[in-house]
């Protein structure tokens, strides 16, 4: 059973945490632009203690980052926690997370790319719906952030409308309903075979990737298949793939079909990962993908509504 975090309202406090790469330290102006953008949307922003730090290719030792994350979850004044950016070794936090504390304090938690490991692990352990959506630096810190991305963010975290995203291209048509699992494919693979692996039974698997090719994507999908995942899921959504080219003349779409076959519907091209236009997706929510409606849509509320701050 899913656990809904409490919705944001105007005036809510957003906490920012750097889960791995020291991007705020490397690009402080970009980070500050992201904070300013969130404040301009009417939110109060608090920044976790080690977010601006640098420790090699991390912002801080894993124990310090985990403590930052726990402090934000435990703070009743924090309505949402957004990842500053990414970091390929975000999975180092997994053994340190206090899932009981997180479950007792169901707060919106959002990230994109490498934080996929944290989103899906938290949902797997607690049932808390998490969100694959805009990061502080690379989305809110971008002066050209599309308004559609902001609107999708608000629809998801304020409960203004069911999270919904267009599905205009399909490798295999059909309709499927299931629990949403996914994010960045390479990061998701870091959970396979660990105690933090999501339950793929009847799931809709949404994934995206950047900077690779059809053969490497096929290798990941083959691993999922050999692990039994592709026999369990109800449907697949392939996100917009950034700088992902063919291998020996074989396109990514052909490679996906070669591995997946005709077992489930497959929609393609949804921008939710390494793209400026980014739809916010509720990990752990029940969603339906439908070729007739041409959408991915949550079938139930993903946040619990509250009264406006100060009302």
Per-residue pLDDT of the chain (311 residues), as tens digits, is 789 999 999 999 999 999 999 999 999 999 999 999 999 999 999 999 999 999 999 999 999 999 999 999 999 999 999 999 999 999 999 999 999 999 999 999 999 999 999 999 999 999 999 999 999 999 999 999 999 999 999 999 999 888 899 999 999 999 999 999 999 999 999 999 999 999 999 999 999 999 999 999 999 999 999 999 999 999 999 999 999 999 999 999 999 999 999 999 999 999 999 999 999 999 999 999 999 999 999 999 999 987 544 44
Burial class (CB in 10 A: 0-12, 13-18, 19+), 13: middle
Around 52, how many Cα atoms within 13 Å sit in the side-chain half-sphere?
A: 9
Helices (H), the chain: 23-26, 28-40, 62-74, 99-104, 116-126, 147-158, 185-189, 214-226, 252-260
Burial class (CB in 10 A: 0-12, 13-18, 19+), 126: buried
Q: pTM surpassing 0.85? A: yes
Strand order in the sheet with 281-283: 44-47, 13-17, 78-83, 108-111, 130-132, 281-283
Tell me what pLDDT residue 147 has: 97
CB 62 within 8 A of CB 38: no
**Which residues, listed in sequence order, are joined to residue 125 by a DSSP beta bridge?**
none
Helices (H), 159-261: 185-189, 214-226, 252-260
CB 287 within 8 A of CB 184: no
By DSSP bridging, strand 266-270 and strand 169-172 are antiparallel
Tell me the C-alpha distance between 49 and 51, whole Å: 6
Quick one: CA torsion of 37, 106, 157, 53, rounded to 10 degrees?
20
Tell me what pLDDT residue 310 has: 43
Around 100, how many Cα atoms within 13 Å sit in the side-chain half-sphere?
A: 0
Tell me what pLDDT residue 162 has: 82
Tell me what pLDDT residue 306 has: 77
Tell me what pLDDT residue 311 has: 40
CA angle at residue 181 from 280 to 96, to 5 degrees? Answer: 95
């Amino acid at each position: 059973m899913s656990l809904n975090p409490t919705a944001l309202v105007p005036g809510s406090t957003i906490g920012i945490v750097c889960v791995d790469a020291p991007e705020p330290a490397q690009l402080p102006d970009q980070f500050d632009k992201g904070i300013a953008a969130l404040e301009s949307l009417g939110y109060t922003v608090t920044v976790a203690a080690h977010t601006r730090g640098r420790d090699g290719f991390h912002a801080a030792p894993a124990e310090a980052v985990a403590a930052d994350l726990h402090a934000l979850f435990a703070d009743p004044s924090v309505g949402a926690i957004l990842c500053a950016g990414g970091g390929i070794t975000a999975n180092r936090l997994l053994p340190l997370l206090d899932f009981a504390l997180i479950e007792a304090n169901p707060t919106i938690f959002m990230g994109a790319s490498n934080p996929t490991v944290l989103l899906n692990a938290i949902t797997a352990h607690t049932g808390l719906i998490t969100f694959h959506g805009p990061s502080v630096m690379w989305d809110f810190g971008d002066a050209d952030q599309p308004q559609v991305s902001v609107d999708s963010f608000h629809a998801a975290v304020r409960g203004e409308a069911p999270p919904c995203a267009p599905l205009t291209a399909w490798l295999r048509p059909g309709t499927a309903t299931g629990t949403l699992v996914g994010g960045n494919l390479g990061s998701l693979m870091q959970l396979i075979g660990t105690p933090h692996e999501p339950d793929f039974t009847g799931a809709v698997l949404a994934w995206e990737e950047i900077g690779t090719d059809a053969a490497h994507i096929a290798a990941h999908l083959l691993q999922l298949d050999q692990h039994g995942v592709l026999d369990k899921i109800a449907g697949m959504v392939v996100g917009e793939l950034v700088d992902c080219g063919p291998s020996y003349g074989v396109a990514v779409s052909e490679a996906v079909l070669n591995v997946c076959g005709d077992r489930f519907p497959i929609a393609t091209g949804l921008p939710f990962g390494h793209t400026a236009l980014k739809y916010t997706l509720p990990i752990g929510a029940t969603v339906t993908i439908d070729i007739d409606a041409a959408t991915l849509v949550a079938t139930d509320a993903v946040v619990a509504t509250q009264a406006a701050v100060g009302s």
